[in-house]
Amino acid sequence: MKIKLNKTKVMKWFNHISTVLLFTILIGLLFMVIISKASGGEPKIFGYQLKTVLSGSMEPGIKTGSIIAVKPGGDMTRFKENDVITFMEEEGYLVTHRITEVVKSGEQTLYRTKGDNNDAEDLNPVLSDNVVAEYTGFTIPYVGYFIDFAQSKNGAFLLLIPGLILLGYAGFIFWRTLSEIDVSNKRGSKNEKSEASPNQT
């Protein structure tokens, strides 16, 4: 009897925890989609920008398809060796790599950079004026794929997905509750019949 009660308690705790996690994930994804759509690009939260990583040059620390939080602004000459910065390449795209050396050239500051997963340093030093932000160390693997799709023409449909999942989950909980009530009623009926039947000798 104690074992059954313990199993029941464990299952209830498991259901509660899984429900909280599911709702947290769904609300977080919905929040990110709305912010992404409202900003017309990558989401911005409390002054931090969320960037999508499109290559594996910084693996294993930053995986392809991850989102990272970067802090823009400030003195772009302040960085030192081993800091990770996001900078604009000449081709017009953003790169997030680690500083391997700080080079002072007159009044200018340049950074030699390298991806952690690359064999060699980047070909051209980065001028401090081309630095966009500093990597904060915060990353969420693979969510960048989701954000990229959210920015596409079909991304609006993502706004419906969390609502549909929540609706389906609510239906499941309702069905399970009704099933438990039905089982309890059947057990109660059996117990009443057992108590009502006379003892045979």
Per the annotation, the verdict on 55 as an active-site residue is yes
What does DSSP assign to residue 56? S
What does DSSP assign to residue 123? S
CA nearest neighbour of 114 among 54, 57, 55: 57
Six token digits for residue 150:
């959210």
Distance CA 187, CA 177 (A): 15
Residue in 55, 57, 105, 194 annotated catalytic: 55
**Which secondary structure element, helix H or strand E, spans residue 88, and what is its range?**
strand 84-88
Would you please indicate which residues are annotated as catalytic (active-site) residues?
55
